[in-house]
Amino acid sequence: MANETHDLQQQEVQKQEVEMQGAERTREQVAFIPRVDIYETNDAMMMVANMPGVDENNVEITLEKGVLTIKGYVPPTQFEGYSLVYAEYREGDYERSFTLSNDINQEAIEATMKDGVLRLRLPKISPTTRKIAVKSA
């Protein structure tokens, strides 16, 4: 248990900011790279991304030329009559891209959002066995 706690702390306390590559973001808010787990099942690739503060209406998933991009927008927190006196984490949007291999059925990708976690199911294309007829010469 102690070890697990250590892992959680080590890994999650720091948020990594997205580095600017060429084009700038239109939103002033900083963007972070969400922490992601990817695992493979028999028939799909599963992607799980931590995006706290993002609900199902503020998430954007795009697929272009085999590149999957996930974006999450976080409305800034404000409490009427309160002021922020101590901050250990920063709020910001989330942004990350992945190159998908060709054997993903890009039409059938499913996404769900729960408790600030985005889950994507990327189904594999069912293996089509092609029989090659051998002709006699």
Partner 1 sequence: MLERAYRSFFNPVDEALLWRGFMNRLLSDWLGAVENRPAPTYPAMNVWMNEDGAIVTAELPGIAPEDLDIAVVGDTLTVSGERKPEALQEGETYHRRERGYGKFSRAFQLPFEVEADQVSATFKNGVLHITLPRAEADKPRKIAVKTA
* 107 vs 120: CA distance, rounded Å: 13
> In 10 A of CB 44, how many CB atoms?
18
- Please say whether the beta carbons of 113 and 56 come within 8 A: yes
- Please say whether the beta carbons of 18 and 83 come within 8 A: no
Of 48 and 63, nearer to partner 1 (C-beta) is 48
* 35 CB burial (10 A radius; 0-12, 13-18, 19+): middle
Of 63 and 91, nearer to partner 1 (C-beta) is 91
**Rounded to the nearest whole angstrom, what is the least distance from the CB of residue 71 to partner 1 in the complex?**
15
Stretch that binds partner 1, among 18-26, 49-57, 104-112, 123-131 (CB under 8 A): 49-57
Residue 55 near partner 1 by CB under 8 A = yes
* 48 vs 113: CA distance, rounded Å: 10
Query: Which residues have C-beta within 8 Å of that of residue 132, sequence separation ≥ 6?
Result: none
Stretch that binds partner 1, among 11-19, 60-68, 99-107, 123-131 (CB under 8 A): 11-19
Among 19, 24, 76, 77, binds partner 1 (CB under 8 A): 77
Residue 9 near partner 1 by CB under 8 A = yes
- Please say whether the beta carbons of 36 and 48 come within 8 A: yes
**Rounded to the nearest whole angstrom, what is the least distance from the CB of residue 75 to partner 1 in the complex?**
10
**Rounded to the nearest whole angstrom, what is the least distance from the CB of residue 100 to partner 1 in the complex?**
12
Point out which residues bind partner 1 (CB under 8 A).
Answer: 1, 3-5, 7-14, 35-42, 45-46, 48, 50-55, 77, 79, 81-90, 115-117
